[in-house]
Each structure stands twice: as structure tokens, then as C-alpha cells.
Amino acid sequence: MSRIGKNPVPLPDKVKASVRDRTVHVEGPLGKLDWTFAFGLTVTVDEAARLIRVERPDDQRRHRALHGLTRALIANMVEGVTKGFEKRLEVFGLGYRVELDDRTLVLQIGYSQPCRIPIPDDLDVHVEQNRIAVRGADKERVGQFAANIKKLRKMSVYRPRGSDLRGIRYAGEKIRFKAGKAGKVGG
């Protein structure tokens, strides 16, 4: 039995959950999330005990693989509608700027034109100097939007010193810098 899959997901107060036609619906203070789980698995909501349980029919490899995954994704849904998720990014570079223009994130990161990224309706983006905070209820959407921003200008791994440092990284991310090309010594 899966160690993760066998643990039930507790439902906090103010969170409603239901299962209909292989789709789990979770509603809480920060929004609503829906997710369709794989064939063969059984998801049940115990309203009396305020728990969600995931069960698999047998020990086939596919069912074992999906058992813990399904439970983890449902737990993320419950956490998302109660607390929400957040990814923080930092922008480094001389002359690099970040601004919010209504529901558009405007990044000036060394290209000839500013990069304009429309912000999805289910996400909130806050900008403070050269720091970006992406918040939302859906962990996958928050992570994907932050990854799309980071992909616009990757950190330069050959420039480890102060003003030469440029690019976008997650807050607290450690960048492994490379030595660079060594000059030829001798004859």
C-alpha cells in the first residue's frame, strides 16, 4: 500500500468537497478547484469525519503509481483553497525593471522591447521593486506562470559578480556559477 495514498486528506472548516463522475470538486475561501482523476481509483468524501479517502482496486503497477499521486493532488487542492500558494521571483540586472500595468506584467530585461505577459484571472501578481510574487489557489497554475516568467531571461551562470549578475531566479534559489573559459598560458 502506498504510504502517501493510504493517508486520508483532512477537510478544514469552510471547505466543501464532493466527487461526481471521476471529478473532485473542492470549494473554499480562496476559490473553487476541479480535477478529474484516473480510471480505476475510488475517491470518497466522508462528511461526518471531514476526510477524503483515495483507494485503489488492486496492486497493478499503474494503480500503485496513481494512488499516492491522486492523494497528493487532492491535498494540494484543499491547501490551495484554504491557504493558497505563492512563488517569488527576483530580477537582477543593470536597467532591468518590472511593472504592473492593470492585468499585464511588463518586464524590461535587456531586450529591445519590453516583455508583456497577461496575468490569468485566477492568479494575483504583486510587484515590489525587482521582486515578483505570484499567488493563487491552484499550485500547478502558480508554478507554471512563475516558470514562464523565469524562462524569459535565465540567470547568467558565467557572471558571478555584483553588477554583472543578470537574469530572473526564484527567491532563495542557489545558482551554480561556472568558471568560464581559461586563457592559454605559455607557448
Is 183 within the bounds of a domain? no
Name the percent of the chain lying above pLDDT 70: 93
Tell me the CB-side half-sphere exposure of residue 9, using CA atoms within 13 A: 28
Q: What one-character-per-residue DSSP string does 73-136 give? A: HHHHHHHHHHT-EEEEEEEESTT-EEEEETTEEEEESSSSS-EEEEPPTTEEEEEETTEEEEEE
Mean pLDDT of the chain: 91
Same domain, 68 and 98: no
Is 178 within the bounds of a domain? no
Distance CA 123, CA 151 (A): 18
Distance CA 43, CA 29 (A): 23
Domain count, the chain: 2
Residue 1 has pLDDT above 60, yes or no: no
Q: For residue range 100-152, what is the model confidence (pLDDT) as tens digits?
A: 999 999 999 999 999 999 999 999 999 999 999 999 999 999 999 999 999 99
Q: For residue range 61-100, what is the model confidence (pLDDT) as tens digits?
A: 999 989 999 999 999 999 999 999 999 999 998 889 999 9
Q: Would you say the C-alpha torsion 110, 114, 115, 117 has a positive or negative sign?
A: positive
When computed from its CA atoms, the radius of gyration of the chain, rounded to whole angstroms, is 22
Distance CA 114, CA 5 (A): 46
Same domain, 130 and 103: yes
Same domain, 92 and 165: yes
Same domain, 90 and 166: yes
Same domain, 89 and 165: yes
| Domain containing residue 37: CATH number | 3.90.930.12
Distance CA 153, CA 83 (A): 30
Is 95 within the bounds of a domain? yes
Is 156 within the bounds of a domain? yes
pLDDT for the residue numbered 162:
61
Same domain, 46 and 65: yes
DSSP state for residue 140 in the 8-state scheme:
H
Residue 182 has pLDDT above 80, yes or no: no
Same domain, 102 and 152: yes
Q: Indicate the Cα dihedral angle 145, 115, 92, 149, nearest 10°.
A: 10
Residues linked to residue 20 through DSSP beta bridges, in sequence order: 23
The cell numbers describing 38, all together, are 484516473
pLDDT for the residue numbered 181:
72
Expressed as residue numbers, the domain containing 48 is: 9-82
